[in-house]
């Protein structure tokens, strides 16, 4: 079986990015049925073909939609003991 040029399903978060809406709004729209979805075990997925059809996007146009997954942001090594020594040494640093 050959891989498809685009994913058959998206996560709710990916669908939110494609639609330009927030994650909470996307989950609310999934709950109300405004965004078509399937439950696969504990996961909720949005079929790309059904989403494209509900938006009135032609199949050839839907193939050009790309979801860009960014790698998780690197987190600085912080002590896990609850010490906030870094904050005292760098008082101007907010996060």
Write the DSSP assignment of 17-73 as a string of letters: HHHT--HHHHHHHHHHTSS--EEETTEEEEEHHHHHHHHT--HHHHTT--PPPPPPP
Q: What percent of the chain has pLDDT over 70?
A: 56
Domain limits of the chain? 9-62
Tens of pLDDT, residue by residue over 57-76, are 866 555 555 555 566 666 66
10 forms beta bridges with 46
Instruction: For residue 54, name the pLDDT band (cuts at 50, 70, 90).
Output: confident
The reported pTM is 0.57
What's the CATH number for 9-62? 3.90.105
Predicted confidence at residue 71, as pLDDT, reads 63
């Amino acid at each position: 079986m050959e891989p498809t040029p685009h994913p058959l399903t998206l996560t709710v978060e990916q669908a939110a990015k494609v639609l330009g809406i927030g994650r909470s709004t996307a989950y609310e729209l999934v709950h109300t049925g405004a965004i078509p979805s399937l439950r696969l075990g504990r996961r909720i997925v949005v079929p790309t073909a059904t989403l494209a059809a509900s938006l009135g996007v032609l199949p050839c146009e839907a193939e050009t939609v790309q979801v860009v997954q960014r790698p998780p942001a690197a987190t600085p090594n912080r002590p896990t003991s609850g010490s906030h020594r870094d904050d005292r040494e760098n008082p101007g640093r907010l996060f």
